[in-house]
Structure 1
Amino acid sequence: PPPPPRSYGGGGGGSGDAADSGGASDGAGGRAGILGMFLAGWAARVAADPQFPFKVLMEELVGVTACVLGDMSSRPNFGLNELDFVFSTLVVGSILNFVLMYMLAPTPGAYSLGSRVATLVSKGTTFAVVGFGAGLMGTAISNGLIALRKRMDPAFETPNKAPPTLLNAGTWALHMGISSNLRYQTLNGVEFLLGNVMPPPVFKVSVIALRCMNNVLGGMSFVLLARLTGAQKSDKPASSDSEAKERLI
């Protein structure tokens, strides 16, 4: 059977020589090896898809903005009472969106349905692990900012309890392994097809529109998942209509 579809792996889309020459020494040599692997992988992705840098740029600028707006729109009071959660989503989302783009750069081929399903499962597992690690990082950053704020202003009280670290990381793992994996694999395939039939200016506009919609959907789906798992929930009960009207007066 044909091999699974070639979505480039985490560091490696380039030549083995670059990786071997970079990893020969410890310390600075090891860091240079990692950087060399990344640069080689980046070059391979650009060679396979000249529009790859533009897609990454739009993902980080337009996509992350849309993701944050989708996240905030799914929260009470447009997320203004939960800015700590929103910031955590912003940090983790920025990291994960780049990882998704880098690791899911597709190449065409006559792949069987079984090979495509195997790739979907293997990438989902990889992204779940990455999502768990990024979730730990995002929670640590969010909790650190809250602690710093309390140190500067002892009277400050957070509107929400800090999310359980492992539960929040597990929620990110589920989101990455299932929702993000399905959405980005589909999106990358659609973009790859559109790039072959659309003029470059029209294609770039379609990339912006598609990534906006994808990230808004991603932000909203994460909030729903976080509510379901209990990783993120507001401590303040919903106000009655009369209380809301009083605040507006």
Structure 2
Amino acid sequence: MGRSRSAEIESILAKAGSSASELPSDMQEALARGALYAQDVKQWLAIASTPLLGWICQHIPAFRDRVLGNPRFLLVLAIEEALGVAAKMSAEVQSRGDDFWKEIHFVASDMALEVIGDFAIVWLLSPSRSFKPPSNNSAARWINGLPGHALQVGPFSPVQRLATIGYRGLQFFCVGFGSSILGHSLTKFMVDRSNEGAGAHKDDKQLAPVLDNSLGWGGFMALSSNSRYQLVNGFEERVLDALVQNNGVKSVVTFLLRFGNTFVGGAQWVWFARCVGLQ
């Protein structure tokens, strides 16, 4: 079985004018172990021949693994970033009004954190195709065996699916807490620098408590964002893929679904922040 698979892979590579020695090192090792499949190679050849994407995947294996393991990864990433940036920029323009350009450095800081946060959400929940051998550490091996999200299609046990919710929740908390700490620290630094040269015209804005807001945002991401995105990913993989075959229609439904999720998330944050006394 292993030899016939290797022969099939070598045939695929030869037809593409390539060879096993040109595969990424971890894929070569997987081929030697009999853990590389023909479909992996076909997908990799298609990705490697794509401008920019091929370069990124060649230099960032973890990104490549997600592109290979989740056909929807790039689409979802683009949609989440577009929705997040559009919603954030709209909020910045509305809240800052005539001071928008005067506070453009704050805007840039907020937008950078939005981009990072949206990327982290998609990254954490995306299924991936790893070519690394199983870890010798039993705990690491068990964690690496968890699905990307709780409803991912595959032979995962109920315990693994429940553990995924908790594990991703912890990761979401860390992302939310860390990004909030960074955002508030950058804002405070910029306000202080602005006030140094402002003289009598110092900015008297009261900044929100850093730790309280960071804990609140981390908790919100662990509870609300985690559960909502688990459901969204599950719906796309189990329902959308089964009912819709046209890729264009899938893209539209995915956009609308994630737009609705973003709207619900914004409303939930206001409710959550008021409940815990942050607003």
What is the TM-score of this pair, normalised by structure 2?
A: 0.59
Which structure is larger by alpha-carbon Rg, 1 or 2? 2
**How far apart are the structure 1 equivalents of 2:248 and 2:177?**
37
For 1:192, the equivalent position in structure 2 comes to: 237
List runs of 5+ in structure 1 lacking aligned partners. 1-14, 19-34, 234-249
Distance in structure 2 (CA, Å) of the matches to 1:120 and 1:68: 31
Cα-Cα RMSD: 3.4
Partner of 1:129: 174
Pick closer, same or farther for the CA change 1:214–1:102 going to 2, 3 Å.
Answer: same
List aligned pairs for 1:1-249, cutoff 5 A: 17=26, 39-66=60-87, 72=91, 79-80=95-96, 87=107, 90-106=111-127, 107-154=152-199, 155-158=201-204, 160-193=205-238, 194-198=240-244, 199-231=246-278, 233=279
Q: Is the 8 A contact 2:84 2:115 kept in 1?
A: no
Contact kept in structure 2, 1:127 and 1:176, CA below 8 Å: yes
Amino acid at match of 1:92: L
What count of residue pairs does the alignment treat as equivalent? 196
Q: What is the DSSP-based 3-state SS (H/G/I as helix, E as strand, rest coil) of the residue aligned with 1:110?
A: coil
Encode CA deviations 1:80-127: one digit per residue, 9 max, x unaligned: 48988x957644332222111011013521333332211101111121
Deviations 1:16-42 (A, max 9, x none): 949xxxxxxxxxxxxxxxx99982121
Partner residue, 1:24: none
> What secondary structure sits across from 1:161 in the alignment?
coil
Distance change >3 Å, CA 177–CA 16, structure 1 → 2: farther
Identity of aligned residues (%): 27
Give the Å deviation of 1:207: 1.5
Deviation at 1:57, TM superposition (A): 0.9
Structure 2 Cα separation of the partners of residues 200 and 145 of structure 1? 45
Classify 1:164/1:91 alpha carbon distance in 2 versus 1 (closer, same or farther; 3 Å). farther
Rounded to whole Å, the distance in 2 between the matches of 1:121 and 1:16 is 33
C-alpha change, 1:214 and 1:157, in structure 2 (3 Å) is: same
The alignment partner of 1:210 has SS state of helix
Deviation at 1:152, TM superposition (A): 4.5
Q: Secondary structure at the match of 2:271?
A: helix
Question: Does the 8 Å CA contact 2:236/2:254 hold for their aligned counterparts?
Answer: yes
Q: Return the offset for 1:144.
A: 2.4
CA distance in 2, matches of 1:39, 1:173: 27
- The one-letter amino acid of 1:57's match is A
Deviation at 1:67, TM superposition (A): 5.6
Q: Could you say which structure has the greater relative contact order, defined with CA pairs below 8 angstroms and 6 or more residues apart? A: 1
> Equivalent residue of 2:60, what SS?
helix
Q: Distance in 2 between matches of 1:202 and 1:164?
A: 45
Cα 1:141–1:223 shift into 2, 3 Å: farther
Whether the aligned pair in 2 keeps the contact of 1:67 and 1:218 (CA below 8 Å) is: no
**TM-score, normalising length: structure 1:** 0.66
* 1:189-227 residue CA offsets vs partner (Å, 9 max, x unmatched): 112231343210011111111111111222232233333
User: What is the distance in 2 between the residues matched to 1:229 and 1:151?
Assistant: 34
CA distance in 1, matches of 2:25, 2:223: 31
